[in-house]
Amino acid sequence: MHTNQETPASHARPKNWRLRYPTDCGREAEVAALAQALNLSPLTAKLLINRGYATPDEANAFIRNETTLLHDPFLLDDMAAAVARIELALERGERIVVYGDYDVDGVTAVSTLYLYLQSRGADVHYYIPSRSGEGYGLARGAIDRLAAAGTRLIVTVDTGITAIEETAYAISIGVDVVITDHHECRPELPDACAVVNPRRPDSPYPFSELAGVGVVFKLICALALSRARAEGESDAEAIRSICYTYADLTAIGTIADVMPLRDENRLIVSLGLRLCADARRAGLTALIEAASAPSPDVRSASAVSSAVKPVAKRKKITSGFIGFSLAPRINAAGRIASASRAVELFLTEDPQVAHDLAQELCDINRQRQIEENRICEQAYAMIEAEHDFDHDRVIVLAHNDWHHGIIGIVASRVTEKYGLPSILISFDDLNVLGESPDDPGKGSGRSVKGLNLVRALTACDDLLVKFGGHELAAGLTVTRGNLEAFRTRINDYAREHLEECSITPTLEAECEVRMSELTLAQASELYLLEPYGISNPVPAFVLHNAELVRVSAIGGGKHTRLLVRQDGISLTAMCFGSPTALFPYTEGDRVDLLFNLDINEYQNVKTAQLIVRDIHLAEADADAYYRAAQRYEEIRAGAVYTEEEEVFPDRDDFAQVYTTIRREVRAGHDRLSLRTLWTLVNQNGTRRINTVKLRFIVRILQEMQVLDVEELTAERYQFAITFSTTKINLEKSSILRRLKSQCENRSH
């Protein structure tokens, strides 16, 4: 959660809010009719209309998922050839290797195809390259090792579409290759036995946005159909068997890879979520249970304040739970350990082995979080010190000591914070040998709407060793010697293709609400629209002019819990990832919130709560705050003020401010916005100090060398304490004397 007034980096962009259902759209009669026809709340009816389901029939079909059918897998280019080659391998008893990627999509794709081929009696094995040792995709060294072990067929999953040379090499040494992938295609395709990819420009397949595991799902559907037809069995029964066996893994990979949940993706994920909840797979069951346990530093709002140890309760299986709880744990294995640990979790049928592997993934994920935060802090500092925000629209950072399994996550956070495409490059483990222009740096990039990252990298093709990915996320390798030229080239491309409006972060909300609408029943009704994801986003709402009744710390101060009130109704609002020490608002403030509506359950008691995504002062309070800023500038320029304005500070005011700053600096919080400092001063002090007086106190403490103060921006300071054995005489301050003379009640 980021706030508009307080961010750890001074160039972080405040976010615009946009309503999908404006208050003046004039569709209230339509909303009322839809709500009445389906016995839904008006708020849920607005969500359906926002998604294009305005009639009762359309909305009901969407909720029930009745109109979507799985497409014929043989419409995918080369699917018949892929099936024929795999069936031949099964018939001959050839050694088959499923060759995948180390992210969640790759892990679930490997597991799905392995399990299916195993069920057919295949001599099947799998191979996932090491992220640190080998990197993404097919590699000659791996092909050699697999060939030496007797492999005669490699089936790639979630990778391979750009492996032209590697595919040719494999075939030259007697190993056939079937490629299944979903990444963007280059003009030239590998000369494999089959290349199955819904993104092929010539593909007649009606839905191009399958995940890598989605392509595998279509492959095993095709294999099942081919077998059923050969044996005179029903097509419908063959597809039903595949769906009810493999939709759970397919759903996890589809959600984790942030694929649009429309068309057959929505159908597969809907079924997959139900299978996940049925606990049919030992490894998945163990992972769900491990992820449902209370976090070491964050528990429910009720549990935080209770001495009773919370009891782990299985979470409701939703796309959000998959995306934010399960996927990071699966991903962590491939990022900082071995993706094979996650594959083994899905392959095992032993509950104890599953339990141990699930706990291992949770431990690895905690290590990942620590490393991610370390890299984030370094990246933010580098951006503030080095990036030219006036000239460059792509943030390109490189470091010798970044774990390249983590930089993709950090790139996502950088892009979210700054609203700019970002590419982070790691020359990990090379610095011990001394730097060389030939050092390969592995990079991960994230983009914004308006800049297709793969096309931008294509414009830099001659400077890169390799690259590939999607419109908004890609990987690359660049040598150290080409790094600066690459930074220049990609920014030249971005200046030409990326418009200013595209780099202003925008948060989209469904509509404005009142607190009276945010009931437990309403939160429960939102589950009707699951699964959520791209094209069917988790509903976000805007609440205006709510009073902050209470601000408190949870998770050791890493997160902030609010009690907000409107129209006499109060609800808890959780600000995860927003440290209480830096929270820029105080009790009594009126704020606007952009949030998701959630259900908190503790000790079998369910309550509605808000998950805050952005927050800022309500318009009236914001106007008052900025009027005070304007008044400070006027008085600083010499304007007369009245004693009633309470601008002139006394010694107790100085002591209160100095004590607050000294405490924060000693705690490691040396960068504070004016708003945060004002909040802290008034939370812990015995008297109320307004922002005009506070600004003058900071200037005077700097003038008297009590503090070193650097104004990072007009609203943000960096402090250092100056230690002196000499007693400070504030009366010697020229600023204080001039301020005293400007007060019409004090000047004589």
In terms of Cβ atoms closer than 10 Å to its own Cβ (0-12, 13-18, 19+), residue 39 is: exposed
Q: Which CATH architecture describes the domain 622-742? A: Orthogonal Bundle (1.10)
Whole-number pLDDT of residue 110: 98
CA-closest candidate to residue 163, choices 179, 141, 187: 179
DSSP letter string, 151-206: EEEEEEES--TT-HHHHHHHHHTT-EEEEE--SPPPSSPP--SEEE-TT-TT---S
Helix (H, G, I), strand (E, B) or coil at 51: coil
SS3 percent helix, strand, coil of the chain, rounded to 5, is 45, 20, 35
CATH number at 73-277:
3.90.1640.30
Rounded to 10°, the helix 351-386/340-347 angle is: 150
Domain positions in the chain: 2-18+507-617, 73-277, 285-364, 394-497, 622-742
**Residue 671 one-letter amino acid:** R
- First CA to last CA distance, the chain: 51
Radius of gyration in angstroms for the set of CA atoms belonging to the chain, rounded to a whole number: 29
Alpha helix (H) ranges present in 257-350? Answer: 263-277, 282-292, 301-304, 319-321, 327-336, 340-347
What is the model's pTM?
0.76
The closest alpha carbon to 99, from 226, 190, 7, 203, belongs to 190
In whole angstroms, give the CA distance from residue 131 to residue 143: 16
**What residues of the chain score a pLDDT lower than 70?**
1-13, 66-68, 132-133, 135, 294-314, 428-433, 500-503, 713-714, 724-725, 745-748
Q: What CATH topology corresponds to 394-497?
A: Diaminopimelate Epimerase; Chain A, domain 1 (3.10.310)
pLDDT, residue 725, reads 62
| Helix segments in 480-639, DSSP class H | 483-497, 520-525, 619-636
Tokens 């032993």, residue located: 350
Residue carrying the six token digits 């590998």: 190
Q: How far apart are CA 264 and CA 208, in angstroms?
A: 10
CA atoms within 13 A on the CB side of 640: 5
User: What does the buried/exposed string (b/e) look like for 648-674 if buried means 16 or more CB atoms within 10 Å of the residue's CB?
Assistant: bbeeebbebbbebbeebbeeebbbbbb
Residue keyed to tokens 């101060």: 557
The two tokens of residue 118 are 């195993």
Q: How far apart are CA 386 and CA 242, in angstroms?
A: 53
C-alpha closest to that of 60 among 42, 45, 70, 50: 45
Beta bridge partners of 297: none
The region that residue 566 occupies, defined by phi over 0 for left and psi between -120 and 50 for alpha, beta otherwise, is: beta
Q: How many H-runs (helices) and E-runs (strands) does the chain carry?
A: 25, 22
Q: Residue 9 has what pLDDT?
A: 41
According to CATH, the superfamily of the domain at 2-18+507-617 is: Nucleic acid-binding proteins (2.40.50.140)
Containing 380, the helix (H) or strand (E) segment is helix 351-386
Decide: 507 and 539 in contact? Cβ < 8 Å.
Answer: no
Q: Rounded to whole angstroms, how far apart are CA atoms 358 and 291?
A: 9
The per-residue pLDDT for 503 is: 66
3-class DSSP state of 522: helix
Residues, the chain: 748
d(CA 485, CA 463): 8
Within 8 A by CB and 6+ apart from 466, the residues are 137, 162, 476, 477
Range 695-698, long-range pairs (CB < 8 A, 24+ positions): 695/632, 696/632, 696/635, 696/636, 696/647, 696/649, 696/735, 696/736, 696/739, 697/649, 697/653, 697/654, 697/657, 698/657
Q: How many CB atoms lie within 10 A of CB 477?
A: 16
**Closest to 489 (Cα-Cα) out of 381, 396, 367, 616:** 396
Chain centroid offset of residue 744 CA: 55
Q: Is the peptide bond before 129 cis (omega within 30 degrees of 0)?
A: no
Integer Cα distance of 486 and 460 in angstroms: 7
Integer Cα distance of 372 and 460 in angstroms: 28
